[in-house]
Amino acid sequence: MKKLFTFLACATLAISGGYAFQKVTKGEPIRNLSVATMQMQRLSNAAGGEVQGKEIARRNVSKLRMNGHKVELGRKVMNYNQSRNLFDRVLRSNGLVSQAAAAVEVPFLYDFSNAENFADDWTIINANNDDETWEYDSSNGGVSVKYNDDYVTPSDDYLVTKEPISIPAGDGYVRVIFSAFSSSYPENFEVLWGTTSNVDEMEPLAQYESFTGGSAYNEVIDLSVETAGDYYFAFHVYSEANQFGVNLSLVEIGSGEYVEAADISALAMSMPVPGISLTTGTVDVTFGNACGLDITSFAFEWTLLRDGAEVASGKQSVTETLAPQGDVTVQLADELDLSEVGVYELQITATDVVTNGGREESNLANNTISGKTVHFGVSDVPVTADFSAGESPSQWYSDGGWTYIADEGAMVCYYGGSLYSQGLNLKAGSTYRISYTHKAGMNYMGWIQLADNYSLMCSKDGGAFSDIHMVENEYTEENYVVGEVLYECTEDGVYQFAFYQNEMECQSTLMIRDIEVTELLGSDMSVDGIYGMPTMAPVSQSISGNVLVGNKGATPVSGNLVVEFDGSQLASVSVPEIGVGETATVPVEFTITGATAGTTAQLEFTVSIAGATDTNEDNNTQTVSLEVTDGILAFDHTENYTENNTVGMGEGMPMIAAIPIHLTTESIITGISVGWGSADNQDITLAAYKYDPESLTEDDTYGNVYELGQNIFTEVVAQGSEVGQIEYSITPKLLEPGDYMIAVGVSGYCLVVDGVTPGILYLIDSDMIIDQSSANLGTPAIRPIFGEGEVAEIDYTVNAIVSPVGESILASNQPIVVRVTNNSQSEQTATLSVTVNGESAGSQSVTLGRYESNEYTFTADMAEPGSYTIVATVEIEGDENPEDNRVEATVVSAEPRDPYLMDFEGCADFSIDNFNPQWTTYDGDGAPAYGVSGFTFPVPTGGVAFMAFNPYMTTPSLAASAPSLVPTSGERYGITFYTNTGERNNDWLISPKLALPAEGAALTMQVQSFDDQYGLEEYEVCVSITGNDPADFEVVQSGEAPYDKWEKVTVDLSKYNGQEVHVALHVISSDVFYFMVDDIEITKPGSGIDDAVSATWSLYPNPVSEILVINTVGQEIESVEIYSTTGALIDTLRGTGSECRYNVTTLAPGVYVAKVVTEAGTRSMRFAVK
């Protein structure tokens, strides 16, 4: 799986990986399926790295580097009676039995410096049988145990000496150097010994509990050996679940009292700068004292090699005293002869170390240091250095800031500095091209974009370097690209070039794979790249793409581009004039003729110059391979159909991914083939939309976006349970020439991408198409299928009854919205009819263009609580697919609940609006919502204030996982989501206008914090005596919600006794987790004379945006008349008992009057429509 991050108010797509986020985290926001950038998270990245996310029990924190950390010597005395303070352990068979083995004599010293010997010298016991145990750690040195990413399994891993250690009777010691991966996660580690290799028969020597990272622990454990003999030693990590890891880098076992050994370290060396005029050079070397004793004297031996052969050597003594952890810099007494051309390497090794009372030095691994420099030769151009095949020190060499990385096949600027060229003979009046293939910048964790600043410098005849080209803020989107610099030479001479990056700006992200220096001669046109070509195309399918053509010569050129297949010309287009050093993008369209489905076509793209001879024809042609198919069109290179190669918005989160296609002729699409890395038989959506490539705009949040055009078709099918490339059939549709987005809607991590960067990947959000190519995830395996099929000439479809749906409070003038599509090949007029419980709600004449859709509204009286069956039918003469002309839906008109009690029991599971009772919400922070890793529930696709959360209905049940997450009553409670931005929540839950009693007004509620890792949730209870806008409220009481238990809170509202008010719960947590609330209850007015009819009648919500409820509390409503403020009668409603419901969506925003007539009298009540 792969995950993706961008934290502004934008959503992010993710690539699935091995981090199982406990909180579907700061890398997985959803805003209406939209995304701005993508984050990557791979299963192989088990080491961690600071992932900007939150979890219930674990965050991913960068591993600590132990290099350069000074260790402090500690001492621990063995105590046989020491409590192990471990979880109860069941005796287990570890497969080891006592047996005769060749004992190792003391002193025993093991520094884990050899990965191959490690497996031969140690026995590993994975006692908890998880996926993580002791293994060689090449990044930190030593061996390590990492956390188990199931988040529930504690560490239980032993490292046991394979052969026993022979120890004489008397005093002895064990010395260990170990460390924790992180300063944020405490670890537990112990040392055991025994006469057998069975760890259950061993005794503890020492335990180190709750230690964290920051520096290594250098501990000495004193032994008292009563009987001389052979002993086994075990090193056991038993950290709690959800920690990070332990590293063990040295084990030393000896007899007698521990006496520290001498230890000197060669730390640094300064070599002469590479150049073309080196003669002699001086060298400074820095040595450090790596032990806890004074070093009173030492010596060092040196050897100078040229091109691998020794040319000089010597030895030098140093008598300066080195204090513990101190260092000294010494200049080599002999000047080095560097006058011959070649690569020089100086090797220096510290020897003869003398300390004040210490043992002889045994750790020699850090005594040697080496450095290189180059006396460059001089060459004529052209010259090429290809680092992908290895280093080229005789051509380009660094002063130490650049390092060759074999995995990249490139020189990488690690510490800042210069990468120098050999000497080059350049001529006055000539222009030279320095061309280099490089990668710059990076997208760190998907949400931080790093860019590189660097320069190209030049020096003549060994003089000072000066800048000839500056590059600022370059990010090549994780790709190697070609950069070119033209240099006009004004004087004959020997020149050197150098790529330079300032140490302060170095990020280890500037990489150079090859460098070429050539002279511009005559005319030279090149094919520099081919883009947008499919990887698979049907026979005779028209294909389009772009060819990047460059001018590598000394004069402007124009010419021709030819596309050929198997010797036949498929296309010929003109190439416009291109200036020196410039490029032009040339669009091409062609059809492959003479190819057979199932074969691979090799397409050749060749340029030629008009009116001149090309001086370099080696770069005139590039070839593209294309698989010829019966009907599939593809742009991806997918080969691996695994979950590790999928993209998604998060576990259970929906997304709509798409690829663009361009058609030059009419084509019938009959299906879509989709590549799955995982499959769970969910419903998926297949769709096609028109779009205009010229509608590109730059959005501040989402980057490059396009307008989404007409929906051509949308079909929902079952995904199935098979992984791989799966074909789905659709009702055939005739696509006219033009541009389209072929889209797939899916939830979770299922859809495979090829990982070939930058790729072609778009996300669809409402009316936007968001370009995701900059995320460098590659191209999704979405492949339209074209072919023959019967396309209906006349066909209307009822797509859906859009609203109402499910159970909600409905009105006496309830709008019913129906979506209809014309699937005909031309504009057609049909009749759309709706019935409710068999009674007509009307009919409308609808006229739609080809493949056009629209929504139509009808009105019916659905205020009476109960079940309603809605049937929508479209009719047109000659309909060729009448089976899709009718849709039926059953909805429930709910009884409005008491607005004085908000317990979320009348709300739909996981709903975020249309609450019953009609409390409203306001999302002031606009933050996306997030789920909880390992638990699936419908997470909203946009910003949200409150959700009616049912912990019993998550998968698996959250209620079963923790008793504290069970509601105080019923099945639901309200939650808010953390912001993920570092900003405070600004989420409101607001009551309708309520009349408070004449005395004793109060509010009670139950509150809780979902988790306390990031602090406790904060809230305010607020009251407004005017409207329900957040600015209208004043704070009455504030507090923090406790963790792991519900707390009943009582708020005194007596200040507002006898008034009509809105009461609000305002969550203001500072990016914590989920705020939980249940059983909000506000005291009602009594039914006595002091609380007259005017207090007991209610009209809510006010202001209102949809359903207005008028309740007269036992008084039969005869009628309700709706007036404007000018006195115009707008509508008249009949009563249904003591309650009337009215849908205001047909009213313009403003103030209105409801005249309510009952048997007890008449009252006018004002309300506002917003």
Average pLDDT, the chain: 86
Whose CA is closest to 363, among 113, 141, 143? Answer: 113
Res. 304: pLDDT tops 80: yes
What's the pLDDT score for residue 341? 95
- Model confidence pLDDT, tens digit, residues 217-228: 989 999 999 999
Judged by DSSP in three states, 960 sits in: helix
List all residues 6 or more positions away from 393 whose beta carbon is below 8 Å from its beta carbon: 343, 372, 374
Whose CA is closest to 1049, among 1072, 1081, 1023, 1073? Answer: 1081
- Rounded Cα–Cα distance for residues 128 and 188 (Å): 15
Amino acid at 1: M
CATH of domain 1100-1169: 2.60.40.1220
Are the beta carbons of 361 and 298 closer than 8 angstroms? no
Per 3-state DSSP, the chain is made up of helix, strand and coil in percentages (nearest 5) of: 5, 50, 45
Res. 2: pLDDT tops 70: no
What's the pLDDT score for residue 1096? 63
Residue length of the chain = 1170
What's the pLDDT score for residue 37? 26
- Rounded Cα–Cα distance for residues 756 and 737 (Å): 28
- Rounded Cα–Cα distance for residues 776 and 785 (Å): 26
User: The tokens of 573 are what?
Assistant: 């287009």
Give me Rg for the CA atoms of the chain. 38
Write the Ramachandran bin of 400: left for phi over 0, alpha for psi from -120 to 50, otherwise beta: left
Res. 122: pLDDT tops 60: yes
Pick 267 or 446 by higher pLDDT: 267
What's the pLDDT score for residue 943? 80
For domain 378-519, the CATH architecture is Sandwich (2.60)
Pick 1112 or 797 by higher pLDDT: 797
What single-letter DSSP state applies at residue 959?
A: H
- Rounded Cα–Cα distance for residues 521 and 432 (Å): 9
Res. 50: pLDDT tops 50: no
Kindly report the CATH class assigned to 104-255. Answer: mainly beta
User: The tokens of 1106 are what?
Assistant: 């949809």
- Rounded Cα–Cα distance for residues 354 and 794 (Å): 99
- Rounded Cα–Cα distance for residues 1147 and 1128 (Å): 13
What single-letter DSSP state applies at residue 633?
A: -
User: The tokens of 91 are what?
Assistant: 């005796």
- Rounded Cα–Cα distance for residues 722 and 681 (Å): 9
Res. 1115: pLDDT tops 90: no
- Exposure of 695 in the CB half-sphere (CA atoms within 13 A): 14
Spell out the domain ranges in the chain: 104-255, 264-375, 378-519, 526-629, 643-786, 796-893, 901-1089, 1100-1169
Judged by DSSP in three states, 74 sits in: strand
Judged by DSSP in three states, 1032 sits in: helix
Whose CA is closest to 876, among 843, 900, 854, 838? Answer: 843
- Rounded Cα–Cα distance for residues 128 and 94 (Å): 11
Are the beta carbons of 137 and 143 closer than 8 angstroms? yes
Q: Which fold has domain 526-629?
A: Immunoglobulin-like (2.60.40)
- Rounded Cα–Cα distance for residues 749 and 16 (Å): 6
Kindly report the CATH class assigned to 901-1089. Answer: mainly beta
CATH of domain 796-893: 2.60.40.10
What's the pLDDT score for residue 575? 97
User: The tokens of 457 are what?
Assistant: 């410098």
- Model confidence pLDDT, tens digit, residues 1062-1098: 999 999 998 888 999 999 999 988 633 334 444 468 8
Fold: same for 104-255 and 901-1089: yes
Whose CA is closest to 489, among 435, 422, 561, 431? Answer: 431
Whose CA is closest to 1030, among 997, 985, 1079, 1085? Answer: 985
* Domain 264-375, classified CATH 3.30.565.10, yes or no: no
What's the pLDDT score for residue 63? 21
pLDDT bucket at 1107, cuts 50 / 70 / 90? confident
- Rounded Cα–Cα distance for residues 554 and 94 (Å): 75
Are the beta carbons of 1028 and 1062 closer than 8 angstroms? yes
Judged by DSSP in three states, 720 sits in: coil
What's the pLDDT score for residue 35? 26
CA distance to 129, 662, 731, 823, per residue, from 688 (Å):
49, 12, 12, 13
Are the beta carbons of 720 and 726 closer than 8 angstroms? yes
- Model confidence pLDDT, tens digit, residues 929-942: 877 877 888 887 67
The 3 state secondary structure assigned to 647-711 is EECCCCCEEEEEEEEEECCCEEEEEEEEEECCCCCCEEEEEEEEECHHHCEEECCCEEEEEEEEE
- Model confidence pLDDT, tens digit, residues 549-594: 999 999 999 999 999 999 899 999 999 999 998 999 999 999 888 8
Are the beta carbons of 504 and 453 closer than 8 angstroms? no
- Model confidence pLDDT, tens digit, residues 683-726: 999 999 999 999 999 887 788 999 999 999 999 999 999 999 99
| pTM across the whole model | 0.63
